[in-house]
Amino acid sequence: MTTPTDPPLLDIRNLSVRLGEGAASPALIENINLRIRAGETVGLVGESGSGKTTLGMSLMRLLPPLLDRGLSGQIHYDGDDIVQMDRAELTRLRGGEISMILQDPMASLNPIFTIGNQLKEGLRLHATASGSLEDRAIAALESVRIPSPEARLQNHPHQMSGGMRQRVVGAISLTRAPRLLVADEPTTSLDVTIQYQFLELLKDLQKRAGMAMLFITHDFGVVAKMCDRVAVMYAGQIVEEGPVREIFRRPRHWYTRALLDSVPTLDQALDRLPTIPGSPPSVANRPQGCRFHPRCANAQAKCMQMPPMAELAPAHDVRCWFPLQEQRGAA
Amino acid sequence: MSGAIISARRLGRVFKVTNGGKKQDLHAVSALDIDLMPGKILGVVGESGCGKTTLNRMLLLLDTPTEGEVLFKGQDCSTLAAEARREFRRAVQPVFQNPFSSLDPRMRVGQIIAEPLATIAGMSKQDIQNRVGEVLVAVGLRAEDARRFPNEFSGGQRQRIAIARAIASKPEVLMLDEPVSSQDISIRAQILNILKDLQADYGLSCVFISHDLATVRFMADDVIVMYLGRVIERGTARAICTTPAHPYTKALLAANLPPDPDAPRPELPPQGEIPSPLNPPSGCAYHTRCPLRFERCDRERPNNYPTPHGGTAACHLLDPNLTR
């Protein structure tokens, strides 16, 4: 366990991704500040179009060229700024230091090569390890609990189930022992019983490797299970960030609170679900001032100005002029 | 049971498939019985390959069962005359998961919604236009939206259009196949509320198919849980979601992640992979993943036994004559 005084592994400062150069161009994500410490899991929650995937992609500089040119701010990784890195440095970073698991394992794996072939590609780059390539590939499959790994090496992706494929993607992304894993909705395409097992596996692998994780999801249940801290994104900004318990028990932003309340649960039989009116704005139609105010139950005149991110409790920041006070479920 | 609007009796669907050059039978749905009562919502829960979409298609008469029958108000649907079939099409309407593929991008919203009205004889142009405006307002859109095209709407608004189309012909039954799974969380609650309101206002009966137990708990009165083409447990939504009897339902419940970081860890966490429906396990199909299995489970398919909360479950552990 690290203490809050350790320097963070990843320190994102004022990160923006704009469609074009100049501060006036529309921004996919805007003035993002976020820190991830070694071994820590930070959840990034938001709806589609909130910018969570753009943020994840920008950490590895995997944005399309047009957007990559619109990147500004800093991403300090272990002392270096990823935003300033050249090609050679990025190659060293990708897969080695920071790795990624994406939503659809079929899109991450190449359908015409065997699993073994694709695993060994990553292993070959890892010159320091001992043992034959074959043995290390088998060990990698064993580490993600794939039964009869020797036989599975000969399989093509289509011969495996979705859950199995995602475990192979996990094995590949962990071959070079990254220190940070960006998991972008890794279980959204999986069945619930398979999702559960994959999350357990991921947590276990993380603990053993002491790896940090940025976990991108829209599912608060997954956040509750996986994360130490949570950042909630809305329309390109982080609107609230804090320890996972604080966010669930005592959300300060009206958006966070309303989202949490709108999720049906097993233990209560409600007649109606509380809802948020309207839908999230597109990049081109983001409102003036607080981005959430047109949908907010407590919008006031002041909300026409953009609220700053303010620390309300230790390590709990919120972007709201009138943050919530009471605990959730207390009313 | 009498009085049901739609029933299935020993319903089955076998697909002939070719697997690696071999001809095989795929039992997508087997020996399924349901009764959808007027004004009730029946939840159908299960994971991939459990047959819930095949069931949906058969209940909509979009696919022909290979065994058993679908009854509409007591009448066997395979023998419906043209006129009665047209009445079925009016009375039973679908809402699908993805409103990006279920709405024709080249048709105006008004045309899309008016299409099912063709099943009703004698409606004038003005009647149709009025009805289109009425249902658009009922789902929270504006009557003027009839002139626009689907691409002018967000995902949530498109699903409202799909619902408006479904209720346009004043149906008695809605078949809802994962209607909120492709929606954002802030939109899901809106759509679920609309469906629940419409169901209550018009006294609709619904089949609500979902993989998410918490959503089914909110929507449904009764629930069936399916695994590899068979119903393995049935009961009230409350019983299924709080005191399930079948180990598979318990695993589904354990896999449901509550939005609470202090939620206790489940006693029986889910394990194993879903077997291929092409090669289902012997005996109880769940025995390969069941933490409570014993020797009888891989030999013998369990009967449906009564559960403590008034439902039934297909599990040998509930056999009152069980000796181990």
Domain of residue B168, residue span = 6-318
The answer to whether A226 and B193 have CB atoms below 8 angstroms apart is no
Among positive and negative, which fits the CA dihedral B77, B79, B81, B82?
positive
Q: Which residues in chain B have their CB less than 8 angstroms from residue A259's CB?
A: 185-186
B-chain residue closest to A269, CA distance? B218
How many CB pairs below 8 A link A and B? 130
pLDDT at A1: 46
Length of chain B: 324
**What angle is formed at CA B48 by the lines to CA B45 and CA B51, rounded to 5 degrees?**
65
- Spell B227-259 as b/e; 16+ CB within 10 A means b: bbbbbbbbbbbbbbbebbbbbbbbbbbbbbbbb
Q: Is A194's CB within 8 Å of B273's CB?
A: yes
Q: Chain B contact for A204, CB < 8 A?
A: no
Q: How far is CA A155 from CA A137, A142, A239, B201, in A?
A: 13, 15, 45, 54
User: What does the pLDDT look like over B121-176, one tens digit per residue?
Assistant: 888 999 999 999 999 999 999 999 999 999 999 999 999 999 999 999 999 999 99
Strands B22-36 and B6-19: antiparallel
* Residues of chain A below pLDDT 70: 1-5, 126-129, 329-331
User: What does the pLDDT look like over A57-74, one tens digit per residue?
Assistant: 999 999 999 999 999 999
Mutate to test the interface with B, among A266, A268, A282 (most CBs of B within 10 A): A266
Q: Is A197's CB within 8 Å of B48's CB?
A: no
B79 found inside a domain: yes
- Supply the ipTM of this predicted assembly: 0.90
Q: Is B242's CB within 8 Å of A267's CB?
A: yes
- Mean pLDDT over all residues of chain A? 91
pLDDT at A330: 43
User: What does the pLDDT look like over B229-257, one tens digit per residue?
Assistant: 999 999 999 999 999 999 999 999 999 99
Q: Chain B contact for A161, CB < 8 A?
A: yes
Distance CA A22, CA A28 (A): 13
Distance CA B201, CA B92 (A): 17
- Mean pLDDT over all residues of chain B? 94
pLDDT at A71: 94
Confidence at B324, pLDDT banded by 50, 70, 90: low
Residues 72-131 of A with CB under 8 A from B: none
Q: Which residues in chain A have their CB less than 8 angstroms from residue B196's CB?
A: 271-272
User: What does the pLDDT look like over B172-187, one tens digit per residue?
Assistant: 999 999 999 888 888 9
Q: What is the CATH number of the domain that holds B301?
A: 3.40.50.300
B324 found inside a domain: no
Mutate to test the interface with A, among B47, B252, B260, B265 (most CBs of A within 10 A): B260
pLDDT at A2: 47
Mutate to test the interface with A, among B100, B151, B157, B185 (most CBs of A within 10 A): B185
As a whole number of Å, the CA-based R_g of chain B is: 21
CB atoms inside a 10 Å sphere around CB B162 = 24
* Domains in chain B, number: 1
* Residue position matching structure tokens 């399989």: A155
Strands B173-177 and B205-210: parallel
What does the DSSP 8-state code read for residue A261?
H
Q: Is A221's CB within 8 Å of B48's CB?
A: no
Among positive and negative, which fits the CA dihedral A265, A188, B260, B268?
positive
Cα distance from A68 to chain B (closest Cα, Å)? Answer: 27
Cα distance from B288 to chain A (closest Cα, Å)? Answer: 14
Distance CA B200, CA B68 (A): 31
Q: Chain B contact for A327, CB < 8 A?
A: no
Q: For the residues of B230-275, what is the DSSP string, one character each?
A: EEEEEEEHHHHHHS--SHHHHHHHHHS--S-TTPPPPSS---SPPP
pLDDT at B49: 86
Three-state SS at B182: coil
The answer to whether A262 and A274 have CB atoms below 8 angstroms apart is yes
Residues 23-82 of A with CB under 8 A from B: 47-48
Q: How far is CA A232 from CA A44, A139, A257, B259, B284, in A?
A: 6, 37, 11, 14, 44
Q: What percent of chain B has pLDDT over 90?
A: 85
**Enclosing H/E stretch for A150:** helix A149-152
Distance CA A296, CA A318 (A): 15
The answer to whether B249 and B312 have CB atoms below 8 angstroms apart is no
Cα distance from B123 to chain A (closest Cα, Å)? Answer: 34
Three-state SS at A288: coil
A-chain residue closest to B197, CA distance? A272
- Say which residues have a Cβ less than 8 Å from residue A126's Cβ, sequence separation at least 6: A175, A176, A177
Sheet strands (E) in B37-119:
41-45, 67-72, 75-76, 92-95
Residues 304-323 of A with CB under 8 A from B: none
pLDDT at A3: 53
Distance CA B138, CA B145 (A): 13
Q: Chain B contact for A262, CB < 8 A?
A: yes
Residue B11 clears pLDDT 70, i.e. is over it: yes
B161 found inside a domain: yes
Mean pLDDT across the stretch B212-237? 96
**What angle is formed at CA A242 by the lines to CA A238 and CA A247, rounded to 5 degrees?**
100
Residue B191 clears pLDDT 80, i.e. is over it: yes
B311 found inside a domain: yes
Q: How far is CA B198 from CA A100, A314, B226, B270, B292, in A?
A: 43, 46, 27, 36, 42
Q: Which residues in chain A have their CB less than 8 angstroms from residue B183's CB?
A: none
